[in-house]
Amino acid sequence: MRPALAVPGHLFVRPLVQGLDRPDSPFTIAVDLPAKNALAFNERAGDLRCAFLSPIDYARHGAEYCIVPGIGVSASAACGIVRLLIKSNVRNIRSVAVDIRVTSEILLAKIILVEKYRNVPSQGNDLVFLPMLPDPEAMLQKADAALIVSFEPAKSQPSTPDVFVLDLVEEWVDLTDLPYVFGFWVGREEHLTTEEAKALVSAKESGLRTRERVIHDLAISSHHTLDAMSAYFASLSYDLGEREEEALAEFFHYAYFHGALPDVPEVQYFDFG
C-alpha cells in the first residue's frame, strides 16, 4: 500500500500536487481540513508519510518534523485569502470570531491586532477568539470582528459601510517587510525517502510549468470565472527560499512572544544530498 500525502482543501495547493494522483505516484492523496490533517499527522494516523502543514502546526512539533526544502505557498502582497471583517462602529476590538478550519491565521490575526492597532489591549490578554463555522454574517452577530480564510475565490466582498476589511497578509507584509507563508510539506526524517521528496519537487515543477492550464481547469471545476481564479492565484509564490525562511523565523518569534509556543523552534529541513 502506498503511503498517504495529507493535503488541505485549499485551491492554492493544487499546483503542488500535479501528477501525484497518477497510478505511478509514490503517494495516495488524503484531502481534509488543515487542522484535521495536522492532528492525523501528529498521531501517525493510517500511513501518513507527508503533510502540507501551516507554520504553527509545524512549530508545535518541530523537533519531530523536517520541512521539504524549496516548496511552499506564500504571498507578498494583498491577496484576499485571509481577511478580517470588522464592524465599523467598533472602536475597541474585544472579540474575534474565527474560522474553525484554520490555525496559523488565527495567530496572524492576533499578531496584527496587538502589534499594529492601538484599540486592542497591549498584551492582547482581553482579546477573545470564538471558534465558529465560516459564516461572516453569523460571526459578526457574535463578535466585533470575523476572521475569514478563503479556500477558494471569495464569491462576494462585503459592500456594506457597516464592515471594514483588513487583508491580513498585506498587514503582515507591512509589519515585517516579509512574505506570509501559508504552509509547506512536512515529514519525519526517518520516513520520507529521497524518491518521495523528488516526486514532490517534480509535482511543483509540473504545476508551475502548466500553471495557466491548472488555473483554467480549476475555474471550470469549481464554477468560478477565469478572472476570479486568476486573481486568486496572482499574488502567490510556490518557492520556499531565504525570504520565506526569514518570514517563518519571524512568525515563530511572534508566536512565542504572544504565548502560542513554549519556545522558538529550530527549523529543520530535509537534506537529500
Residue with cell 469549481: 222
pLDDT of residue 118: 60
pLDDT of residue 25: 92
| CATH architecture under which domain 82-176 falls | 3-Layer(aba) Sandwich (3.40)
CATH 3.40.190.10 fits 4-74+180-257, yes or no: yes
Nearest Cα to 269, choosing from 182, 180, 186?
186
pLDDT of residue 55: 96
pLDDT of residue 249: 96
Contact 230, 237 (CB under 8 A): no
> 180-187 and 128-132 as β-strands: parallel, antiparallel, unpaired?
unpaired
pLDDT of residue 16: 96
Please, which residues bridge with residue 31 across strands? 7
SS3 79: coil
Rounded distance between C-alpha atoms, residue 99 and residue 106, angstroms:
8
pLDDT of residue 162: 85
pLDDT of residue 125: 57
Q: Where in the chain is the domain with CATH 3.40.190.10?
A: 4-74+180-257, 82-176
pLDDT in tens, the chain (273 residues): 788 899 998 999 999 999 998 989 999 998 988 888 888 888 876 688 899 999 999 998 877 889 999 999 999 999 999 999 999 888 888 899 999 888 999 999 999 999 987 655 545 457 899 999 989 999 999 999 999 999 888 765 555 568 899 999 999 999 999 999 999 999 987 788 888 989 999 999 999 999 999 999 999 998 899 999 999 999 999 999 999 999 999 999 999 999 999 999 989 998 876
Supply the DSSP symbol for 14.
Answer: G
Residue 28 C-alpha cell reads as: 495516495
Residue 6 C-alpha cell reads as: 495529507
